[in-house]
Amino acid sequence: MKVFFETRSVEETWNVAREFAKDLKAGDVVCLEGDLGAGKTTFTQGLAAALGVKGRVTSPTFCIVQEHRGERFMVHMDLYRLKDEADVEAIGWNDYLARGAILVVEWPDRAGSLLPAAARRVRINSKGEEFRTIAIDSRADNLI
């Protein structure tokens, strides 16, 4: 089952992310799908706030992985510039999961078969200047 949200500001997207973050646990992978500028990094900012981690969540041009520690351990990856799963493996994908990170991933298609079946999928579509739709697969979908 999917749940759908509509947001009309950055703050509303943060609120959806905060709610979604409540049932995240160590070792979860969150796939953020959507075009350039859809709001994947913005959504991640909401996750970071809810997970009580430190450090600004940014959209780094030269940085593919950012580690955020605090109450929880969140790792934010932007795989846009990577080619395939060999590249993704090389930046420590498995190590992060083994260390109990919550892995939040933009452009997750690059990770190919590294993506666990139970990954949580969040799809953000831009419908206008500040209008976004956010579709989230419920956890149960991934267990079937």
Ligand X SMILES: Nc1ncnc2c1ncn2[C@@H]1O[C@H](COP(=O)(O)OP(=O)(O)OP(=O)(O)O)[C@@H](O)[C@H]1O
Q: How far is the CB of 22 from ligand X (least distance, A)?
A: 19
Residue 2 contacts which entry, ligand X, Mg ion, none (Cβ below 5-8 A, type-dependent): none
Angle separating helix axes 10-21 and 40-51, nearest 10 degrees:
50
Residue 104 contacts which entry, Mg ion, ligand X, none (Cβ below 5-8 A, type-dependent): none
Q: How far is the CB of 144 from ligand X (least distance, A)?
A: 28
Give dist(CA 73, CA 54) in Å, integer. Answer: 10
Per residue, what are the HEC states of 38-86? CCHHHHHHHHHHHHCECCCCCCCCCCCEEEECECCCEEEEECCCCCCHH
Burial of 117 (0-12, 13-18, 19+ CB in 10 A): exposed
Task: List contacts with ligand X (CB under 6 A).
Answer: 7-10, 12-13, 34, 36-42, 59, 78, 106, 130, 132
Q: How far is the CB of 10 from ligand X (least distance, A)?
A: 5
Task: List contacts with Mg ion (CB under 5 A).
Answer: 40-41, 59, 106
Question: Closest residue (Cβ) to ligand X?
Answer: 39
Neighbours of 15 (CB within 10 A): 16
Q: How far is the CB of 59 from Mg ion (least distance, A)?
A: 4
Residue 108 contacts which entry, ligand X, Mg ion, none (Cβ below 5-8 A, type-dependent): none
